[in-house]
Amino acid sequence: MTYVGQSAAAAAQQEDPDSATFRDVVAAYIGLTKPRVIELLLLTTVPVMFFAARGVPPLGLVVATVVGGTLSAGSASALNCVYDRDIDEQMRRTRRRALPRHIVSARSALVFGLSLGVVSTVVLAVWVNLLSAGLAVLANAFYVLVYTMVLKRRTTQNIVWGGLAGCFPALIGWTAVTGELAWTPVVLFLVVFFWTPPHTWALALRYREDYANVDVPMLPVVKPAAEVGRQIVLYSWVMVATSLALWPVAGTGLFYPAAAAVLGVVFLVESHRMWARARRSDVLSEIKPMRLFHHSNLYLSLLFVAVALDPLLG
């Protein structure tokens, strides 16, 4: 399917995969792993390792965890691309991915994704520990089997519960250092859990027509923008409160709660502003959902940097 307005060159590339160069194919396989998603996942893994170690963790352990985590996240993303290739081809945001363009076959992408999953499990099990490897496998299984195959196309709560898979890196970073679970990583797990809906619904608002066209019931598809904004605000308040709970639970220094408070206030201001704009108008250009989306990335990044820096400054 070719959208109106899609360039002739793009359409031709979809129709003639043999024209793809070696560089195109390599880039396509890398694209299957969704590198930007991997960046966010690692950002919630490595800082937790610093916090768990109460300083700088062993370099070899960090490298093994990063490599294993990267391969694991890449595996889940590739398998997601295989299953969602039918709707990806119809959505503006995803139609330039490797499978819609037919640069990589579904079979090749499936083998690639499964192979990454196997290698990641071996890396984590051998060079990190079995608990971390098991958590990575569980996260992948949940993302592919529960979110992608069951929740995504059936419920407006798809990203709420499906987002659990993206919370596991906080647990993996902690267990990589300590070899056991504790309440501290659970708090950080919950921060990411409550962060995911505001982050994803802001993006879904921007592309709600795409989701509507492929019958994916994201919340912005079935609810007016004002209601989406209200729910974003509710989740944002709970997220900020949860982030501050790390202070008493983990006994952090004063740097972390100060940073979390400032970042939280800014995030709440942004979420309330978007909600106010959504109450006044349903026009995307006036709601400006991508402003909150980009701000949510910055919020999570800086919050976990604060997690890493707190024990170093204490």
Spatial neighbors of 273 by CB under 8 A, at least 6 apart, are: none
The residue among 98, 80, 203 whose CA lies nearest residue 149 is 80
For residues 206 and 109, membership in a common domain is answered with no
pLDDT band at 5 (very low <50, low <70, confident <90, very high): very low
What domain count does the chain have? 2
Q: Which of 134, 151, 178 is the last residue of a domain?
A: 178
For residues 295 and 237, membership in a common domain is answered with yes
Classify residue 101 by its DSSP letter.
T
Q: Measuring CA to CA, how many Å separate 307 from each of 51, 158, 169, 245, 250? A: 6, 29, 14, 13, 11
pTM for the full model?
A: 0.92
- What pLDDT does residue 8 have? 34
List, for residues 54-109, the tens digit of each pLDDT value: 999 999 999 999 999 999 999 999 999 999 999 999 998 899 899 999 999 999 99
Q: What percent of the chain has pLDDT over 90?
A: 90
Decide if pLDDT at 164 tops 50.
yes
For residues 291 and 196, membership in a common domain is answered with yes
For residues 171 and 187, membership in a common domain is answered with no
The domain spanning residue 305 has which CATH number? 1.20.120
- What pLDDT does residue 109 have? 97
Q: Which of 178, 211, 238 is the last residue of a domain?
A: 178
For residues 161 and 199, membership in a common domain is answered with no
Q: Which domain holds residue 74?
A: 22-178
For residues 187 and 147, membership in a common domain is answered with no
For residues 152 and 29, what is the distance between their CA atoms, to the nearest angstrom? 24
The domain spanning residue 51 has which CATH number? 1.10.357.140
Reading the block at residue 278, the tokens are: 């959504």
For residues 35 and 164, membership in a common domain is answered with yes
Query: How many CB atoms are located within 10 Å of the residue 189 CB?
Result: 21
List, for residues 218-263, the tens digit of each pLDDT value: 999 999 999 999 999 999 999 999 999 999 999 999 999 999 999 9
Q: Which of 178, 200, 226 is the last residue of a domain?
A: 178
